[in-house]
Amino acid sequence: ADRRAAAEWNGVGATADGRRVRILGNVGSVADARAAAEAGAEGIGLFRTEFCYLDAPSEPSVTEQRAAYAAVLAPFAGKPVVVRTLDAGADKPLAFLAPEPEPNPALGVRGVRVAFARPEVLDRQLEAIAAAAAESGAEVSVMAPMVATAAEAAWFAERARAAGIARAGVMIEVPAAALAAREILEVADFVSVGTNDLAQYTFAADRQLGAVAALNDPWQPALLRLLALVGEAARDAGKPAGVCGEAAADPRLARVLTGLGMTSLSMTAAAIRPVGATLATATFADCEAEARRALGSGA
Ligand code: PEP
Ligand code: MG
């Protein structure tokens, strides 16, 4: 069914009654960006920049970073691209940002917390992103990973603007950030929910541990209720809210996420057409009804 629906998607993310939901690609390399563009992505909702440097022994120069980012942005000239600043952590260690050994790396100095400790590394990355944006012609925003509070979001947005980047958003992947979505949206231009980490931290279940994988289920009402808070906050603020975790790649869940108020969905290239096609067969009211059912089902 997905294959037939895939053939039918017209390439513009929207419900059957025309409510726009941008269908975007998750990328970490030039190959990913080409695959996303070929699949019909309307832009990039998550560029995981740390993927460029998993093997880098030392911090890449601004010039090197600029070239690497511009190559990924190239297929998306004139289109929206969200570049996430380095998300180094236990699952994605970067040699030049290696933290001290920690008893609980998932709860330690990772994501934007690394930038608080090494702001000069963030500033150099922002400088490279601004230059790559100008070179590629993509409509570039930046986004911080692992933000927990509105104060952290404000700190990041200020640095991004100082680097000449017009739009700065943050990921919602810590439960505290979902609960503070209103305050965060007072200082950030948009939010994007990372359901992989948000599920991990909501259910206290390591996303890398098979033994607790069943808990990391994005259909769980507890997780969807956090997403609903984010959707309501974004609607009231008149600002975009997306999902860029794996949940956005499930076509049925994509409708639920739309019903919860998400305005973009970002995913791996293979999911773009199935999600676009499935969304196009439901009205926004259908999506809202599916969201209400999913919120209420005590799975
Ligand atoms: C997430 O946590 O859902 C996310 C999109 O970020 P990553 O998978 O890179 O941690
Ligand atoms: Mg994450």
Q: Residue 123 Cα, ligand 2 centroid: separation in angstroms? A: 21
pLDDT tens per residue, range 245-254 = 999 999 999 9
pLDDT at 3 (0 to 100): 55
Per-residue model confidence as pLDDT tens digits over 114-130: 999 999 999 999 999 99
Q: Per-residue pLDDT averaged across 261-275, rounded?
A: 98
Query: 258: pLDDT confidence band, cut at 50, 70 and 90?
Result: very high
Q: Which residues contact 16 (CB under 8 A, 6 or more apart)?
A: 280, 281, 282, 283, 286
Please give the C-alpha separations between residue 113 and each of 226, 236, 242, in angstroms, as whole numbers: 22, 28, 22
Phi, psi of 141 (to 5 degrees): -115, 160
Q: Are 282 and 5 in contact (CB under 8 A)?
A: no
Atom of ligand 1 nearest to the CA of 173: 2
pLDDT for 156: 98
- Which value does ipTM take for this structure? 0.99
Residue 85's pLDDT is 98
Contact of 192 with 244, CB cutoff 8 Å: yes
pLDDT at 31 over 60: yes
Report pLDDT for 283: 98
Mean pLDDT for the stretch of residues 171-195? 98
The pLDDT of 69-96, averaged and rounded, is: 94
Tens of pLDDT along 128-152?
Answer: 999 999 999 999 999 999 999 999 9
Q: Does the structure show a pLDDT above 60 at 2?
A: no
Report, as an integer, the average pLDDT of 165-194: 98
Ligand 1 atom 4: residue of nearest CA: 194
Residues contacting residue 291 through CB under 8 Å, at least 6 positions apart: 224, 228, 255, 256, 257, 258, 259, 260
How many angstroms separate the CA atoms of 286 and 69, rounded?
Answer: 39
244 lines ligand 1 (CB under 6 A): yes
Q: Residue 298: pLDDT above 80? A: no
Per-residue pLDDT tens digits for 89-116 = 777 889 999 778 888 889 999 999 999 9
Q: What integer best gives the mean pLDDT of the chain? A: 95
For the chain, percent of residues with pLDDT exceeding 90: 92
Q: How far is Cα 273 from Cα 277, in angstroms, rounded to an integer?
A: 6
Q: What is the pLDDT of residue 294?
A: 97
The finding on whether 89 has its CB within 6 A of some atom of ligand 1 is no
- What integer is the mean pLDDT of 10-28? 97
Q: Which ligand is nearest to the CA of 26?
A: 1
Pairing of strands 167-172, 264-267: unpaired
Per-residue pLDDT averaged across 51-63, rounded?
A: 96
The residue to mutate among 94, 197, 262, 264, having the most atoms of ligand 1 within 8 angstroms of its beta carbon, is 197
Ligand 1: does its nearest atom lie under 6 Å from the Cβ of 84? no
In 3D, which of 281, 225, 235, 222 has the Cα closest to residue 255?
A: 281
**Alpha-carbon distance values, 38 to 43, 267, 272 (Å):** 11, 14, 10
**Alpha carbon nearest to ligand 1 atom 1, residue:** 194
Nearest-atom index, ligand 1, CA of 246: 3
The pLDDT of residue 7 is 57
Query: Quick one: average pLDDT of 275-297?
Result: 96
Q: Given this model, what pLDDT does residue 93 score?
A: 86
pLDDT of residue 92: 82
Please give the pLDDT value at position 140: 98
Residue bearing the bigger pLDDT, 99 or 264? 264
